[in-house]
Amino acid sequence: MSLTTPEIDPTFGPGRRSLIRILITLFVVSLVAMLLLGAVVVFLQLGGLLTHNGPFIIAAEKAVGPATYAVSAAFGIITLLVALAFGWKSND
């Protein structure tokens, strides 16, 4: 199995294969966005900590936090959809 292209079961139809490709793309995009936004929050807060600026730390979280949480929630949902598209069942 490659890290860039997961193996898709050959018994899947063309519609399901297309869906999986789209979901994998969304998965990667949302993962990168979530990690970048998280890093922005951490580095802004680190800057506030190093400059002893408490209000800046709180403002950084208030400014970037909601977007980070929204992207993280979308990432979780997309992850579940990818698993379901590949045939995962909750009792596996």
Task: Work out the burial of residue 11: count CB atoms within 10 Å of its CB; fewer than 13 is exposed, 13-18 middle, 19 or more buried.
Answer: exposed
What is the per-residue pLDDT for 54? Answer: 94
Q: How many domains does the chain have?
A: 1
Q: List pLDDT tens digits, range 36-64.
A: 999 999 999 999 999 999 999 999 999 99
> Does residue 9 fall inside a structural domain?
no
Q: Tell me the C-alpha to C-alpha distance, in Å, between residue 81 and each of 23, 31, 50, 89.
A: 7, 14, 41, 11
> Does residue 77 fall inside a structural domain?
yes
What is the per-residue pLDDT for 1? Answer: 45
- Provide the whole-model pTM: 0.82
H runs (alpha helix) in the chain: 14-50, 54-85
pLDDT at 86 over 70: yes
Average pLDDT for residues 8-31, to the nearest whole number?
Answer: 90
Which residue range forms the structural domain that includes residue 71? 27-85
